[in-house]
Structure 1
Amino acid sequence: MTESSPGPAAPYTDAARARLLMAYEACELADLARAAVPIGERELNPDGTARAPGTVLADAARVLTAAQRFLDAAAVFERVGGADWQVIGDILNVPAHTARVRFALSEAAFREDLLPPEGTHSGSVGGVTSLRAHIVREPLETALDLDDWVLRHQDGDSDLGTAPVSGGLIQRDTS
């Protein structure tokens, strides 16, 4: 996709949609992890212990859950791109069967999200699944939001351009 011609109904490839979902999960993970860095003025007791026991652990659990969603999205992206279970297993240092058992449901959910909402899509209950389906079905909107996020968090990366996410999405050849 070029920066000057992002059509609202651009026919993005399944791999581009999977990569976008992975980018979204990375963004969520980064935001959760960054929130754990500052130490609030009233967070600690005078002895350095937490004033509200369990809150730090709950935050860490949310980061871990987000990291697992990011890993799932990365495996799905690799699968959509043609990687077999052996490749995924080798990278994760597990047997191919273990990789398939671990990620097959995520891949199936992604492929279901590709179906039109009025089709046989059974849908899943819960905000995360509904959001995932929206990201997959409306990639440009998500990509533009992620463009803004990346540009706000550049940290010295000045060569990202004005469309660091949407500019890299690949559209199907419609000719």
Structure 2
Amino acid sequence: MSESDAAPKWGFPVRASSLDVAWRRELREIDPADYTESDRARLFLSSVAGALAEQAIRLAETWDDGDRFPAALAADAVPLGKLATKALDYAVVTARVRGASWEDIGEQLGMTRQSAHTRWGELEAEWRRDNVGTSCIHPGTRAAGLDAWTERVNDPPDDPRIPHERRVSAALDVTADRSGHRPRQAARFPEGRAWNLVNRDPDLSARRRRRVTGFLALVYAAILHRDPGLAPDNDELADALRHAGTWGVDTDTVDASCARLDQAARGLLAREPAEWQAVLEDFVATSEAKDTPSGPHAVYWRDAVRVTTGADGFPSRRSLPVEDARRLLDMVVDPNGPANEPSAN
């Protein structure tokens, strides 16, 4: 590899000059705190997958077979197994961060919910506790490197909807506005849509956005848990998103598909605090019983309602961002639409 190439810690080479383009410079200029937990987990998984692909290419090539001992092929194959295991591990962590239950993961991998939790529960807890926000690599630098690498190893696509120069970064939560992938984010429940609504209010601070997003995601998840029929029609969403970024499809199309769910969320939060809190508490309790106490919604809820001791020595509880959530839902809810409210009983 020449001096103009970079060999960053994620395990595959990119040319330094390929990072010095406008989009990739923007990625590195974004505040690291604005990259969501989902973004960070997905980028880490992409890095592992990139290292795995590079090692596989190395093993597939034969041009230098005559220069090495035959047994070296076996040695070259060893990292593949380790990286494949690591890719699976962090695919599960990413799925959990994005809201998948242990039951969902177990079903996909042909194992029980308990087996999946036993194998990866501790790794997920470690990721949430130690890795998010503490990486020495700026997430924008990681994203830019992955974009440059995927552009290098892929031919330009015939499909104009595929962003060849930003195959990895285009659909991250933090870049959805810039890349034209906002409609896709708006259709991903619960976290994606919550972030989508929050990002429509530029006046919210970064810290406030994260709190409101967590609360809205919890509300959406609780409602869908009680009434899965409120989920948008998959065929309708797929048809709209098939053209996203090509023919100017915007979030209005997705908003129309999500109208019943948004209406239900607004209707729930219009009720007395004791009623909507009962719905959320019931959902969290059920999630903990079915999955694990470290589930994302349970973690958010316990943090949100935690009683702390103030400077005056009296116990206090941080208020939930209910008014912000109501205001954001009012932006997309038809005031004359039906109020599909889940029961608190």
Fold similarity call, TM over 0.5: yes
Assess if the C-alpha contact under 8 Å between 2:106 and 2:113 holds in 1. yes
Distance 1:139 1:148 in 2: 14
Residue 42 of structure 2 is matched in structure 1 by 19
How many corresponding residue pairs?
149
Q: Does 1:8 align with 2:8?
A: no
* Deviation string, structure 1 residues 146-173 (Cα, Å, up to 9, x no partner): 1110111113435433222222211264
Q: Does 1:168 align with 2:171?
A: yes
Q: Does 1:65 align with 2:82?
A: yes
Match of 2:122 among 102, 105, 111: 105
**Which structure 2 residues correspond to residues 7-156 of structure 1 after superposition, within 5 A?**
7-10=29-32, 11-39=34-62, 40-43=64-67, 51-53=69-71, 55-111=72-128, 112-116=130-134, 133-135=135-137, 138-156=138-156
Distance 2:133 2:38 in 1: 15
Report which of the two has the higher share of helix: 2
AA aligned opposite 1:167: A
- Percent identity for Structure 1 against Structure 2: 28
AA aligned opposite 2:105: I
Distance 1:77 1:134 in 2: 19
Distance 1:157 1:35 in 2: 24
AA aligned opposite 2:53: A
Could you say what secondary structure the match of 1:83 adopts?
A: coil
Assess if the C-alpha contact under 8 Å between 2:41 and 2:90 holds in 1. yes
Deviation at 1:109, TM superposition (A): 2.6
Deviation at 1:67, TM superposition (A): 0.7
TM-score w.r.t. length of structure 1: 0.75
Assess if the C-alpha contact under 8 Å between 2:163 and 2:170 holds in 1. no
Assess if the C-alpha contact under 8 Å between 2:156 and 2:164 holds in 1. no
Deviation at 1:105, TM superposition (A): 2.7
Distance 1:57 1:105 in 2: 32
Q: Which runs of 4+ in 1 moved over 6 A?
A: none
Distance 1:156 1:83 in 2: 33
Distance 2:94 2:107 in 1: 16
Could you say what secondary structure the match of 2:49 adopts?
A: helix
Deviation at 1:36, TM superposition (A): 0.1
Question: Aligned-residue CA RMSD in angstroms?
Answer: 2.4
Distance 1:114 1:141 in 2: 15
| Structure 1, unpaired ranges of 5+ | 45-50, 117-132
Residue 219 of structure 2 is matched in structure 1 by none
Distance 1:103 1:59 in 2: 27
AA aligned opposite 1:42: G
Q: Which has the larger radius of gyration?
A: 2
Distance 1:66 1:24 in 2: 11
